[in-house]
Chain A
Amino acid sequence: MAEGELLIRNGVVYDPINGVKGEKKDICIRDGKVVEEVKNPKVIDAEGRVVMPGGVDIHSHIAGAKVNAGRLFRPEDGRKGVKARTKVCRSESGYSVPNTFATGYRYARMGYTFVMEAAMPPLAARHTHEEMVDIPILDNAALPLIDNNWMTMEYVKSGDMDLLAAYIAWMMKATKGYGVKVVNPGGTEAWAWAKNCDLNDEVPYFDVTPAEIVKNLAVANEKFEMPHSIHVHGNMLGHPGNYEVTTSTYDLVKGIKPYRDRPAMHATHTQFHAYGGTRWGDFESKAGAIADYINKNEHVSIDLGSIILGDTTTMTADGPMEYSLYQITGRKWTNHDVELETGSGITPFLYSGKSPVNTIQWAIGQELALLVKDPWKLALTTDHPNAGPFIGYPIIISMLMSKRRRDESAEDMHKVIFDRAEYSSIDREYDLNEIAIITRGMAAKTLGLHEHGKGHLGVGADGDVAVYDMSPEETDAGKIQKAFLNTKYTIKGGEVVVKDGEVVATPAGKTYFVTPECDDKLTDEMLVKLKDKFEHYYSVNFNNYPVQDAYVPNPYEIKAPWRS
């Protein structure tokens, strides 16, 4: 946070959380926070340029065990995007798996100031935090995986929701995590025996189903005033015909009352879950069916997982999915199962516009954005790096804003796009207010971060601002893309960190974590069971498990009281 005053003058401001839709407006910042007025500020002239709050990414894999395993086994990716150190910046490397420094600089250059690391294996949480400390500029948080955990499944089986909540609370604190992440519930545990689970299959040895895991976690999560809902990567990701599994998963939380005005489930990288057909040969888009569900219901929010064409590195706690993908491509494959908790797989992948399947996947991501009517229900993501690297966001933005660009692009894709996707028949074009919603407002609200100064520019908000070098009237898709790739200015906590697309300062980001407050008696009862797991089954001692304070040098704690 920078001391002193800053005035961003005469920009055209899009601040959807505060209902500001392209008004010419000054933004005043003092000591890192937005204020009503300033007296003796440093002035940034934003005359006629688009101004938005700092971007908030709801789901991106930027730090931790599998991200680094991706870097390690892909030196060929590391060699892309190398940039020598400067007086301000450390050296950069990588494209789909950039080093930590490049991750911070590139997000900042796009005007982002907060990124949620989407999957933290609890046993390796220290690793995630070590890397987040090394990501400059960005504020950050991470979602611990709590779904394939033996503790979770045992409580789901016994139906002890309060004890499950106590376990969630303990794990949030132990991992310095932000919210409950679910990845292929049950399926990843089954993968430890080289098996997988569909939504209503029984998890081997545990006598529960993935559907029960999801539902119970949602119930337990809402026992606290958690800022975020459960964050779900459902079963059968990437399988033709999976859209019904997807909507059935959404149905599980219908009727669960969230603690505040957000859905009870955030369903992530929905593109991968919106597939029709029965096999790759008759694979088709079901974005319409998913969008229809989202349009009619209020209990689920989504993010896109939109495809960026080209080579990338896929990585997920969904071990069996990565194995399937590796069997398709025959490329290198890394797997890492994590005792009592989760797993992961990594394999490189090329999204080609010449491939009919990739073409439909590419269409689905954008179709979802265009067919869901209310942009507050969705966030722009590429599930970085799974559907493509985050630096592709400006491409997606330009597509959503320009029907013309979509039409031109469709011509270069496999012709299947015209008969197995709705893509070319959709005329909708996003305006900048809607772009601001899907790149900051919605994510901040869904994560509950708007109450902590993120994603908006109201008085008291963090002084995180992006000034894009474009006029609000711009319609040229190429110019829009260029403007969103490199800001004129990015301001973080009142400090100019990017100027004319170059990083000029690299302050450390804060790590946000949630502390659910749980009754001691309940916690003690839960700990009897948990300590037994450590005594007999974990390979690390109970007392060495929780993430020590040293790993979070810039903490931002959010307390989540028990809802009586």
Chain B
Amino acid sequence: MIKMGTKVNLISGRTIVQGQNLDNKLSEAYFNEVATCELNESDMEKLGVAADGHVKVKTNYGEVVVKAKEKAGTPEGVIFIPMGPWANALVSGDTHGAGMPSFKGIDAEIEPTEEEVLQVKALMKTYME
């Protein structure tokens, strides 16, 4: 059950279009595919966000604005952001002694927003400040 500010479970992973643009990450196609957040229909409704509406996702490690995308087959309470710079803005670097960051199963909060989605260059700039 998703409400504003309620915790969801964030996972990231590959998609076909993400893979097609693996060597083309500064492209529009990559941005359109990867700066997105997949939710199931009922979560979209509960959140009150339309397709392509923007959502802000926050974790203990960062926050990022991405486009919402309805995706059947995503369980309630789980959000999926394709692997890439936007998902990784939210990911923990703690490797639990295994060398592997936490790319999946991250406690996150989600809310609709009017804010713009940052392009990749602008997103990278935030790290250099």
Q: Do chains A and B touch in the complex (CB under 8 A)?
A: no
The chain B residues found within 8 Å of chain A, CB to CB, are none
